[in-house]
Structure 1
Amino acid sequence: MDEWIDYYGSTHTIYVSRLHRDLHFEVIARDIIGYITSPDAVVLDYACGEALSAAKVADACAILYLAEPAPSVRDRLIARFALNTKIRVRSLDELRSMDENSVDLVVMNGVAQYMTPEELDSAFDAIRQLLKPSGRFVLGDNLPPGVGMFRDVLALLRFAATHAFLRDALIGLINTALSDYPQLRHRIGLQRYSETEMITKLGAAGFKATRAPRNTGYNPWRMTFVAHN
């Protein structure tokens, strides 16, 4: 995962425009809020990225932890939300020192594909320790076998057409194709799990999980799972 952490901590071309980036995080925030059942909830966004719309999530809960592995991204999160008393930024290592059974909802969105199976197992163990007995773990935007870059591109183009940045999307896709992202994706690879494989993997970590009827984010070909202790 280290090379992916370095990539997302750098100036990259994953987002084709500022509008795309902003809308991406707005959609994720909206979907996270949909899983918050109480304004008193403690929420953890695991490997959250830039989390530009985290303030909206924080408005819907009592405390929002933003856990991010990339130091440069963490620094930006700390600066961005310095005045928001509900938001607390942590490294992934710092989660180990949090109280057990202290979090109502954990969300890990669009992250599992960048982890080795062993790294994902370790993350599941850490998350399970943090969750309250009544808590939920939402594992979103997972890549199933057979869904490749073509479907990612199609999902982006549909999203761009809906939100009027199709021209930027087309230009951005060319820029991404010419960047180091395709080579990195080919060299390191992305982890893919079928529905049965992910439910089994979550079960081995002590979770009871089901596939959600709708994926988080704007890619309908990916999968989201909802798990609890």
Structure 2
Amino acid sequence: MDDWIDYYDSTHTIYVSKLHRDLHFQIIARDIIGYIPSPDATVLDYACGEALSANEVAAACGKLILAEPAPGVRGRLIARFAPKTKIRVRSLDDIRKMQDQSIDLVVMNSVAQYMTPEELDAALLNIRRILKPSGKLVLGDILQPNVGMGRDVMALLGFGLRHGFLKDALIGLISTALSDYRQLRSRIGLQRYSEDEITAKLKAAGFAVQRAHGNIGHNRWRMTFVARPPLVR
């Protein structure tokens, strides 16, 4: 995951325009809010990125913890949200030291593809530990083995067409093809999981799991799963 952390900590071109970036975070925030169980819930956004719409998520819960591995991004989050008493910024190391059964909702969106299978297993075990018995993990944006980059291109173009940045999306695709992102993706690759494979990983970490009807974000060819500690009978 370290190479991807370095990439996202750099001046990258993953978003084709400011509108694309802003809409991306707005839609993710809307989807996260839909999973918040109560207004007083403690929510953890695991590897949250820039989290530009975190204020909206924080307004819907009691406390929002933004966990971010990239030091530069984390520094910007700390500066941006310092006045917000409901938002706290943490490193992934901090998350590994959190109190047992202290979180109501963990969202890990568009993260698993950048982790090795072993890193994902370790993260899932830790999340299982810090979740309350009534809590849940939402694992979103899982790439499927049989869905290639062409679907990502179509999802971006459709997103751009619906929201008025199609021209920027086309230009951005050309830029991405020549960028460090494409080189890194070709060299390291992204982890892909079938529904059965990700279900097995979650069950091995101690979760009961079901696939959500829709994915978090705009890419409908990717998968989201909702995992919960099994009910104690």
- TM-score interval for Structure 1 and Structure 2 normalised by the shorter chain: over 0.9
| 2-structure distance, mates of 1:153, 1:98 | 38
Aligned residue identity for 1:40? D
Counterpart for residue 21 of structure 2:
21
Task: Provide the C-alpha distance between the structure 1 equivalents of 2:79 and 2:21, rounded to a whole number of angstroms.
Answer: 18
The residue aligned with 1:183 is: 183
What is residue 32 of structure 1 aligned with on the other side? Answer: 32
Letter in 2 for 1:17: S
CA distance in 1, matches of 2:127, 2:118: 14
Kindly report which structure 2 residues correspond to 1:1-229, keeping only aligned pairs within 5 A, or say none.
Answer: 1-229=1-229
Q: Secondary structure at the match of 1:49?
A: coil
Unaligned runs of 5+ in 1: none
Q: Which string of whole-angstrom CA distances, capped at 9 and with x for unpartnered residues, describes residues 80-110 of structure 1?
A: 1111110000000001222110100000000
Distance (Å, rounded) in 1 between the aligned partners of 2:115 and 2:96: 18
The SS at the match of 1:198 is: helix
TM-superposition CA deviations, 1:49-99 (whole Å, max 9, x none): 000000000000000000000000000101111111100000000012221
Report the RMSD for the aligned CA atoms in angstroms. 0.6
Q: For 1:209, give the aligned amino acid.
A: V
Q: Distance in 1 between matches of 2:96 and 2:227?
A: 20
Q: Structure 1: which amino acid aligns with 2:67?
A: A
Look up the SS of the partner of 1:196 in the other structure: helix
Q: Which whole-Å CA distance do the structure 1 matches of 2:118 and 2:194 have between them?
A: 17
Q: Percent identity?
A: 73
CA displacement, residues 104-149 of structure 1 (integer Å, 9 cap, x when unaligned) = 0000000000000000001001111110000000000000111111
Write the deviation string for residues 156-201 of structure 1: whole angstroms up to 9, x where unpaired: 1101111001111111111111111111101101111000110011
Within 2, Cα distance between the matches of 1:30 and 1:62? 16
Give the Å deviation of 1:211: 0.4
Q: Give the letter aligned to residue 181 of structure 1.
A: Y
Letter paired with 1:162: R
Counterpart CA distance in 2 for 1:59 and 1:99 is 24
Specify the SS of the correspondent of 1:11: coil
Query: What is the distance in 2 between the residues matched to 1:180 and 1:73?
Result: 18
Alignment-mate amino acid for residue 214 of structure 2:
R
Distance 1:69 1:93 in 2: 8
- TM-score, normalised to structure 2, is 0.97
Question: Could you tell me how far apart the structure 2 residues matched to 1:100 and 1:25 are?
Answer: 29
| Unmatched runs of 5 consecutive residues or more in structure 2 | none
Q: In structure 1, how many angstroms separate the alpha carbons of the residues matched to 2:97 and 2:112?
A: 22
Q: Which amino acid aligns with 1:59?
A: A
Letter in 2 for 1:133: P
Separation in 2, partners of 1:171, 1:83: 37
Q: Hey, which bits of structure 1, 4+ residues long, moved more than 6 A?
A: none
3-state DSSP class of the match of 1:79?
helix
